[in-house]
């Protein structure tokens, strides 16, 4: 569970102001959808939260502490494409999430730790509907399956915050609604705080507990670079959670699993 605070954040690239005066508090376990016209800085916001970009002014706090400047295991991310490794099998892709977290230098687990992680990965693959596909490579999976794999890989790392950048944008409508159900379930059953960029308003309202719109108030061509986008709408949607998070099983947190600690 993590609370996020953007406190008077600006982001500029040279003379180009992308975002200005962004102040927002996100409660732990919220699901925030970021919407707005193309180029208004949604991905830039996400990348600052991931630690890939730093604010030009202002500060970002996670649970009251300044954001660490580089990506870490507390923040998982799923992009529209290329989130999984093509040369690793489905199971290896999910295991990698845990291996990179637990064994930073070698990137591999051995013995009991590996067995425990494999068991957890198999449970997670079952949850996301990829049971039976463990030994396939991503190229043998449909787009929807690849994104379910990307979600499993991100969740296997036990992040507190999950960042989604148009994760379902490239999927067909039928597959999209299936994965929406999965996403809702994962969010309901975990303690994740989710921040998702989407172009699709109906997706935003279907999934999120809060919809935040970015907009540039001055949009004449000569003004575009000198004024950034700000938050123009901030809509709380009624609480969407239907379940309490289950006990910290394997994949859901990856932090408190006794099997793993004893391994």
Ligand X SMILES: Nc1ncnc2c1ncn2[C@@H]1O[C@H](COP(=O)(O)OP(=O)(O)OP(=O)(O)O)[C@@H](O)[C@H]1O
Residues that bind ligand X (CB under 6 A): 13, 18, 36, 38-44
Q: Which is nearer to ligand X, 169 or 245 (CB)?
A: 169
Q: Which is nearer to ligand X, 40 or 251 (CB)?
A: 40
Rg (CA), the chain: 19
Minimum CB separation of residue 71 from ligand X in Å reads 16
Give the separation between CA 159 and CA 4, rounded to whole angstroms: 14
Torsion of CA 129, 130, 131, 137, to 10 degrees: 180
Minimum CB separation of residue 233 from ligand X in Å reads 15
Q: Which is nearer to ligand X, 152 or 229 (CB)?
A: 229
Identify the burial level of 192 via C-beta atoms within 10 angstroms of its C-beta, where 0-12 means exposed, 13-18 middle and 19 or more buried: buried
- Is the Cα torsion angle 183, 188, 189, 190 positive or negative in sign? positive
Q: Which is nearer to ligand X, 134 or 200 (CB)?
A: 200
> ∠ CA 200-201-207 to the nearest 5 degrees?
95
Minimum CB separation of residue 67 from ligand X in Å reads 17
Minimum CB separation of residue 41 from ligand X in Å reads 4
C-alpha closest to that of 94 among 144, 38, 35, 134 = 134
Minimum CB separation of residue 13 from ligand X in Å reads 4
Give the separation between CA 227 and CA 118, rounded to whole angstroms: 50
Q: Which is nearer to ligand X, 131 or 218 (CB)?
A: 218
């Amino acid at each position: 569970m993590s609370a996020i605070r953007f406190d008077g954040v600006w982001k500029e690239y040279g003379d180009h102001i992308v975002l200005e005066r962004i102040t927002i508090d996100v409660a732990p376990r919220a699901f925030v959808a970021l919407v707005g016209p193309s180029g208004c800085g949604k991905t830039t916001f996400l990348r600052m939260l991931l630690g890939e970009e730093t604010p030009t002014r202002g500060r970002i706090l996670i649970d009251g502490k300044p954001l660490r400047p580089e990506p870490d295991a507390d923040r998982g991310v799923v992009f529209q494409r290329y989130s999984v490794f093509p040369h690793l099998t489905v199971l290896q892709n999910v295991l990698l999430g845990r291996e990179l977290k637990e064994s930073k230098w070698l990137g591999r687990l051995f013995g009991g730790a590996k067995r425990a992680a494999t068991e957890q990965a198999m449970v997670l693959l079952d949850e996301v509907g990829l049971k039976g596909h463990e030994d396939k490579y991503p190229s043998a999976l449909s787009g929807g399956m690849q994104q379910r794999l990307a979600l499993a890989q991100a969740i296997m790392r036990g992040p507190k915050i999950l960042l989604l950048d148009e994760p379902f944008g490239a999927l067909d409508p039928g597959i999209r609604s299936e994965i929406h159900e999965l996403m809702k379930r994962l969010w309901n059953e975990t303690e994740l705080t989710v921040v998702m960029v989407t172009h699709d308003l109906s997706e935003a309202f279907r999934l999120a507990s809060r919809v935040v719109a970015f907009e540039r108030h001055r949009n004449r061509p000569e003004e575009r670079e000198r004024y950034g986008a700000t938050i123009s709408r901030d809509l709380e949607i009624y609480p969407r959670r239907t379940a309490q998070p289950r006990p910290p099983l394997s994949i859901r947190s990856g932090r408190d699993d006794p099997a793993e600690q004893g391994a």
